[in-house]
């Protein structure tokens, strides 16, 4: 079928900034390989010359501190001599210390023999590879064929910057009091608007869908940004893919009875996203004047954005997005997406694909403007479920069960991008990047490293370093596939220019090589 070329195309010069993803903002962690030691020594790599000497995560090009002891032929540069544990139980941290590491407390002082860094993402020869080598398995059972270094006892949490990362996570932790206070205000406004929309025949069946970082428990910094989705079920519709994107569609009704209230938004048999969003926005703009217990203003519309953005009491920002709910089979473009068979299991994937999917009035890029009649696929509810049940083990991070640092790594990556965007807000190079890019890269990394043992909280420094390296590779190769729609590249040149990607890559490299000064001093 020939793609429909829409007539309602706007020029970018009339438009302005780009769109944020309708999904909230905040996080908690990721992990690397249990077959790697956090401070794997360069001198202990028998085959280091093959890929270049391994670099310690977080340290970059920094030299060892002046008081560092001179190394022996089998000890890494900067590694201090450690005494061997006298008892077997001394060589491993207790369950309590492992749990403490996940909660941002002091890192454990356990020691273990170092192993080869052959699987590390930060090998110089491997950095340029578009598909990084997956992390090894559990530390105490080395992978066959991997060169193992001479046993050297080092502190397991000795990865440079690990303590700083835990301090950052502690700073990002939101208090229940602050969250409760902000959520109460937002829920009051949202509830008021929902009741008003239900009075309109076009939006009579609207309901709130709980998605975003607030509900994913990956919110960071301050509880001052929220994403809200209002879903509206639409039966018997037909999707027509726009320009082979796999992500954007025109929406038609299979039947168009005269009593269908949405017929008001039809444009040449197409359900107009721009018309429907305009009416949605108009109702909200009128109703906020009737809210007496909060000061609510509507912010200017962002070109191409599906969200209506409100500012409450001059400090809380809320993005409200309209979404069409479809209880049919997912589009063919998603067939190879959601690659969680080896991570969360094929059964979980099948169950998730039986759930509804959503369409939001997000305009597709068309030349220098936007195609305003298109709708874009949204799976924010599935993202929430994945983050809520993120472990290969069904009890991962539950109560006293084994913890992982997946969400912690996601929080740190989101915070890194957030801080860089703030630092360079005057340059505009980073305007097109959002936390959704970070989350998508994170999901791909979880697919590559599905074992809970690969995300041990005691290896937070190494896990975060692998997240950074993976994201840098995506920027360098200009490839970041949508996690649900593999054919849709979020880093394509028509969405984000190469100069912006190179600028972000350069800044992240600088941060990593200098132990992330953008995180502040601790």
pLDDT bracket for residue 91 (50, 70, 90): very low
In a domain, 368, yes or no: yes
- Residue scoring higher pLDDT (19 or 371): 371
Q: Work out the pLDDT band at 209, boundaries 50, 70, 90.
A: confident
241 lies in a domain?
Answer: yes
Mean pLDDT value of segment 101-128: 40
Q: Answer with the one of 389, 405, 433 that is the final residue of a domain.
A: 389
Report the range of poorest mean pLDDT among 52-66, 299-313, 459-473.
52-66
Write down the number of H helices and E strands in the chain: 14, 16
Least trusted range by pLDDT, from 250-259, 383-392, 428-437: 250-259
> What's the pLDDT score for residue 365?
85
Range ranked top by mean pLDDT from 107-111, 199-203, 220-224: 199-203
Q: Is 51 a residue whose pLDDT tops 90?
A: no
Cα-flanking dihedrals φ and ψ of residue 408, to 5°?
A: -60, -40
206 contact partners, CB below 8 Å, separation of at least 6: 194, 197, 198, 230, 231, 232
d(CA 350, CA 352): 6
In sequence order, what DSSP letters do the residues of 414-444 get, joined into one string?
HHHHHHHHHHTTTT-TTTT--HHHHHHHHHH
CATH assignment at residue 502: 1.10.1410.40
Q: Which of 370, 358, 366 is closest to 327 using CA atoms?
A: 358
Positive or negative torsion for Cα 277, 279, 284, 285: positive
Whether residue 419 is contained in a domain is answered as yes
Residue 382 backbone dihedrals phi, psi, to 5 degrees = -75, -40
Average confidence (pLDDT) over 170-199: 88
What is the rounded distance in angstroms from the CA atom of residue 411 to the CA atom of residue 467? 11
Residues 379 and 419 in one domain: no
Q: Stretch 310-323: mean pLDDT, rounded?
A: 93
pLDDT of residue 20: 38
Q: Determine the Cα–Cα distance for residues 480 and 235; give it in Å rounded to an integer.
A: 33
Q: Are 365 and 15 in contact (CB under 8 A)?
A: no
- Per the structure, the complete domain to which residue 188 belongs is given by 171-329+357-389
Q: Give yes or no for residue 158 having a pLDDT over 70.
A: no
Secondary structure, 3-state, 161-202:
CHHHHHHHHHHHCCCHHHHHHHHHHHHHHHHHHHHHHHCCHH
Rg (CA), the chain: 25
- pLDDT-wise least confident of 102-106, 225-229, 374-378, 497-501: 102-106
Last residue of a domain, one of 389, 412, 435: 389
Asked if residue 513 and residue 421 are part of one domain, the reply reads yes
Q: Which of 16, 77, 10, 19 is nearest to 378 (CA)?
A: 19
Cβ(410)–Cβ(420) under 8 Å?
no
**Highest mean pLDDT: which range of 60-64, 303-307, 425-429, 484-488:** 484-488
Asked if residue 503 is part of any domain, the answer here is yes
| Same domain, yes or no: 274 and 412 | no
Give the residue, 387 or 102, on which the prediction is more confident: 387
| Residue 398 confidence (pLDDT) | 80
Same domain, 284 and 381: yes
First to last CA, the chain: 58
- Judge if 258 and 322 occupy the same domain: yes
Share of the chain above pLDDT 90, in %: 51
Tokens of 455: 């995300």
- Of these ranges, 205-214, 254-263, 471-480, the one predicted with the greatest mean pLDDT is 471-480
Q: Which is it for the CA torsion 139, 140, 143, 145, positive or negative? A: positive
> What pLDDT was estimated at residue 442?
97
Kindly report which listed range (172-176, 369-373, 428-432) carries the lowest average pLDDT score: 172-176
**Number of folded domains that form the chain:** 2
Shared-domain flag, residues 382 and 411: no
Residue 253 forms beta bridges with which residues? 237
pTM for the model stands at 0.70
Asked whether the beta carbons of 460 and 98 are under 8 A apart, the reply is: no
Residues 367 and 442 in one domain: no
Task: Render pLDDT for 317-376 as a digit per residue (tens, 0 to 9).
Answer: 899 999 999 999 999 999 999 999 999 999 999 999 999 999 999 989 887 778 889 999
- Domain stops at, among 372, 389, 406: 389
**How high is the pLDDT of residue 40?**
37
Contacts of 490 (CB under 8 A, 6+ apart): 436, 437, 440, 480, 481, 482, 496
Identify the pLDDT of residue 257: 59
For residues 299 and 425, state if they share a domain. no
- 252-283 pLDDT tens trace: 988 765 668 888 899 888 999 999 999 999 99
Residues 445 and 299 placed together within one structural domain of the fold? no
Express as a percent the part of the chain with pLDDT over 70: 66
Banded pLDDT at 90 (limits 50, 70, 90): very low
Tell me the two tokens of residue 313: 């009491």
DSSP H helical segments within 88-155, as ranges?
95-102, 124-127
Residues 274 and 304 in one domain: yes
The residues near 510 (Cβ < 8 Å, ≥ 6 apart) are none
Q: Which of 36-45, 157-166, 406-415 has the lowest mean pLDDT?
A: 36-45
Question: Comparing 159-168, 241-250, 353-362, 420-429, which segment has the lowest mean pLDDT?
Answer: 159-168
Reply yes or no on whether the pLDDT at 162 is more than 70: yes
Tell me whether residue 25 is in a domain. no
Is 315 contained in some domain?
Answer: yes
pLDDT of residue 517: 94
**Domain contains 77:** no
Our measurement of the distance from residue 445's CA atom to the centroid of its chain's CA atoms, rounded to an integer in Å, reads 11
Look up residue 334 and give its two tokens: 């998603």
Residues 251 and 314 in one domain: yes
Residue 211's pLDDT is: 66
SS3 label, residue 238: strand
- Domain of 216, CATH number, reads 3.30.460.90
Paired with 351 in beta bridges are none
Asked if residue 213 and residue 182 are part of one domain, the reply reads yes
Residue 71 lies in a domain: no
């Amino acid at each position: 079928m020939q793609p429909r070329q829409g007539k309602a195309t706007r020029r970018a010069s009339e438009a302005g900034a780009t769109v944020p993803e309708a999904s909230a903002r905040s996080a908690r962690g990721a992990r690397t390989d249990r077959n790697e030691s956090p401070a794997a020594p360069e001198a202990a790599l028998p085959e280091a010359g093959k890929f270049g000497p391994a670099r310690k995560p977080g340290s970059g090009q920094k030299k060892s501190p002046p008081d560092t002891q001179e190394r022996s032929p089998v000890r890494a540069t900067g590694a201090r001599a450690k005494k061997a544990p006298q008892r077997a139980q001394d060589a491993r941290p207790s369950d309590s210390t492992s749990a403490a590491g996940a909660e941002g407390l002091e890192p454990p002082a356990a020691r273990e023999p170092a192993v080869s860094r052959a699987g590390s993402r930060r090998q110089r020869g491997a950095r340029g590879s578009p598909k990084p080598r997956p992390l090894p398995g559990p530390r105490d059972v080395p992978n066959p064929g991997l060169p193992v270094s001479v046993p050297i006892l080092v502190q397991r949490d000795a990865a440079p910057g690990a303590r700083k990362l835990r301090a950052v996570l502690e700073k990002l932790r939101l208090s229940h009091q602050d969250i409760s206070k902000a959520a109460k205000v937002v829920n009051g406004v949202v509830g008021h608007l929902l009741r008003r929309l239900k009075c309109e025949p076009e939006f009579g069946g609207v309901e709130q869908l709980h998605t975003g970082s607030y509900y994913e428990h990956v919110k960071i910094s301050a509880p001052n940004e929220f994403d809200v989705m209002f879903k509206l079920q639409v039966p018997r519709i037909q999707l027509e893919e726009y320009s082979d994107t796999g992500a954007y569609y025109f929406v038609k009704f299979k039947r168009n009875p005269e009593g269908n209230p949405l017929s008001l938004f039809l444009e040449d048999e197409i359900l107009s996203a721009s018309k429907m969003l305009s009416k949605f926005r108009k109702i909200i703009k009128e109703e906020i004047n009737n809210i007496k217990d909060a000061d609510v203003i509507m912010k200017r519309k962002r070109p191409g954005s599906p969200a209506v953005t409100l500012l409450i009491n001059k400090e809380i920002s809320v993005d409200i997005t309209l979404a069409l709910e479809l209880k049919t089979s997912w589009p063919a473009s998603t067939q190879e997406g959601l690659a969680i068979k080896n991570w969360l299991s094929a059964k979980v994937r099948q169950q998730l694909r039986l759930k509804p999917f959503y369409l939001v009035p997000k305009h597709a890029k068309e030349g220098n403007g936007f195609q305003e009649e298109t709708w874009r696929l949204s799976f924010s509810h599935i993202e929430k479920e994945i983050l809520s049940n993120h472990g290969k083990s069904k009890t991962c991070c539950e109560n006293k069960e084994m913890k992982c640092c997946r969400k912690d790594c996601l929080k740190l990556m989101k915070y890194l991008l957030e801080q860089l965007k703030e630092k360079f807000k005057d340059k505009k190079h980073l305007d097109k990047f959002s936390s959704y890019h970070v989350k998508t890269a994170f999901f791909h990394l979880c697919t590559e490293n599905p074992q809970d043992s690969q995300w041990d909280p005691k290896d937070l420094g190494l896990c975060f370093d692998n997240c950074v390296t993976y994201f840098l590779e995506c920027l360098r190769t200009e490839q970041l596939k949508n996690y649900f729609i593999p054919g849709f590249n979020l880093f394509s040149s028509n969405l984000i220019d190469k100069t912006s990607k190179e600028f972000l890559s350069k800044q992240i490299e600088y941060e990593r090589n200098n132990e992330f000064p953008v995180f502040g001093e601790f």
